[in-house]
Structure 1
Amino acid sequence: MHDAIKRLFTEGIQTQIAAADLLQEPLVRAAELLVQSLLQNQRVYCCGEATAHATARQFTHMMLTGLNFERPPFPVSALHADFGATDHHSIFAQQISAIGQSGDVLLVLSASEQSPRLTRAMEAALARDMLIIAVTGDHDQDVAGFLGPDDVEIRIPSTNLARVSEHLLQSVNMLCSLVETAIFPQEGDE
């Protein structure tokens, strides 16, 4: 059992090292996109497939309540994953079609290979002329194909579901921190 625990820590550390090298630029671009949109009074909508749905809700909570200091809430909403919907795969897309506006941002989080609810949400966002930030794993087969030149993909360098899930949470924590510091730089000085 001790060897298994050490192996899991080692995998996590190796993914961290690879991510530190590969994800700096996409994280900066994503944070800049969020800051620009929020300063222009646009909204951010967030959704995640499978286990990433909880991370989407966590991101929304942090953006509303503050991560590093007390501040006004940012206009960020988590899309609901109502499994009672008649068309399960279109639940996020229906919400984007109803409330998304040109210039708003859709943040999608995926730890899976295939993400039909996310890709439909992205289609709806594109139809609304929204911008997209996608946080995915190396095994993603669906999400990346929907991104345009103004969109951002943060591709976590792992195909292991557990490592990708860990880094989804870390990525949204970083994004929230970067956005807060950019919009309220005086708070970061204290």
Structure 2
Amino acid sequence: MSLQKFTPLIQTTVADSIQVKQSFFDTHLDAVETCARKIADTLTAGGKLLLFGNGGSAADCQHIAAEFINRFAMERPPLPAIALTCDTSVLTSIGNDYSFDDIFLKQIQALGRPGDLAIAISTSGNSPNVIRAAEEARKMGLFVVGFSGTAGQLQELSDIPFCVHSPVTARIQETHILLAHILCDLTERILFA
């Protein structure tokens, strides 16, 4: 059995990831700064962040919430952020009694308040449970930030849409988490530097 060399594949993947991120940030610099300032204003005014998404995006929600609650790069007070992807009893009871499409919607109704900020993540931009929750968040007076891929409904429902133009889900997710880290970093600097 011969050993296959994966070096060219690794190099191509890294180059593609860098290119997608570079292209995204080249076209979204102003929106990133605007979003960080909106997050800081939301938190200063006593609002909180509510994050929701499926699969890898659910994990990203938990990761981002942890960065705000604990700390990102500096020692500072905790900031209020809730990943709506964590409570399995809530998720499974809503999914069982109503519909999987309602798992984030009902949590937005229960926990969201005007002045809060929702971060909705869907690489397709069309996940029904994310779309329903984003629609409800807007109706309730929450500010909606959407992380998505190239297309989908989420960009139309978002006050600030962050659309990553790539056909590859992994490249979209990699860009989303870099975006989230930058937003955390900027928010800390705005509030505490």
> What's the TM-score, normalizing by structure 2?
0.89
Q: Confirm whether residue 172 of structure 1 aligns to residue 184 of structure 2.
A: no
Alpha-carbon RMSD across the aligned residues, in angstroms, is: 1.4
Per-residue CA deviations over 1:130-182 (Å, capped at 9, x if unaligned) read 110111111x31211223xxx11111232210100111111111110000000
Match of 2:161, SS state, is: strand
Q: Confirm whether residue 159 of structure 1 aligns to residue 167 of structure 2.
A: yes
Match of 2:104, SS state, is: helix
| Residue type of the alignment partner of 2:154 | V
1: CA distance between counterparts of 2:44 and 2:92?
Answer: 34
Overall identity of the aligned pairs, in %: 23
2: CA distance between counterparts of 1:92 and 1:104?
Answer: 15
After superposition, where does 1:99-178 map in structure 2 within 5 Å? 99-138=111-150, 140-147=151-158, 151-178=159-186
Match of 1:18, SS state, is: helix
The alpha-carbon deviation at position 23 of structure 1 amounts to: 1.8
The alpha-carbon deviation at position 26 of structure 1 amounts to: 1.4
Aligned partner of 1:6 in structure 2 is 11
Q: Give the one of 50, 68, 76 matched to 1:71.
A: 76
Aligned partner of 2:192 in structure 1 is 184
Name structure 2 gaps, 5 residues minimum. Answer: 1-5
Is the Cα–Cα contact under 8 Å of residues 73 and 185 in structure 2 kept in the other structure? yes
Is the Cα–Cα contact under 8 Å of residues 113 and 141 in structure 1 kept in the other structure? yes
Aligned partner of 2:110 in structure 1 is 98
Is the Cα–Cα contact under 8 Å of residues 111 and 165 in structure 1 kept in the other structure? yes
Match of 1:23, SS state, is: helix
Q: Confirm whether residue 27 of structure 1 aligns to residue 32 of structure 2.
A: yes
1: CA distance between counterparts of 2:117 and 2:161?
Answer: 13
The alpha-carbon deviation at position 83 of structure 1 amounts to: 4.1
Distance 1:113 1:130, change over 3 A: closer
Name structure 1 gaps, 5 residues minimum. Answer: 186-190
1: CA distance between counterparts of 2:153 and 2:127?
Answer: 6
1: CA distance between counterparts of 2:142 and 2:21?
Answer: 31
1: CA distance between counterparts of 2:125 and 2:108?
Answer: 22
